[in-house]
Amino acid sequence: MCAFYLGDIMNKFMEIAFKEAKKSTKHGDVPVGAVIVENEKIIAKAHNTKEKTKLVTRHAEINAVEKACKKKQSWYLNECIMYVTLEPCKMCIGAIEHARIKKIIYAAPRKKKESLKTPIMIQGEGIENSGKLLKSFFKKRRK
């Protein structure tokens, strides 16, 4: 597995996504956080709320896309980049593609074979933090 240096600005956005991911655990949700950036400014950030809301679609990426669309008053997010702590699932990829987000930068890859590799995905730094947080969450959950 190969990660690459994203630069200080991009690492800042991934760190914010990681902070969002930590919020998910307060309600028993899988710790995933997402940040959407346009012109190097955050327009939306979110975390998983599936367990909290009891809604299957409340993934961090979907929550962030919805917030960004409301802020921009448009569903076109074609000038945006998404930073997410875990490689998006098929459902989230669909929403991201429909919103026309131009690039996804994720920290940890999905372990399940449901993962989709598309040309717009780039695995960045933060895999250690995201991986540790996810492992810790599932270890506690399985007790």
Q: How far apart are the first and last CA of the chain?
A: 30
Task: Tell me which of 20, 38, 61, 87 is the catalytic residue.
Answer: 61
Using an 8 Å Cβ cutoff, are 7 and 40 in contact?
Answer: no
Hey, which bits of the chain come out as E strands?
Answer: 33-38, 41-47, 80-86, 103-108, 121-123
Using an 8 Å Cβ cutoff, are 31 and 48 in contact?
Answer: yes
Q: Is 61 a catalytic residue?
A: yes
Active-site positions? Answer: 61
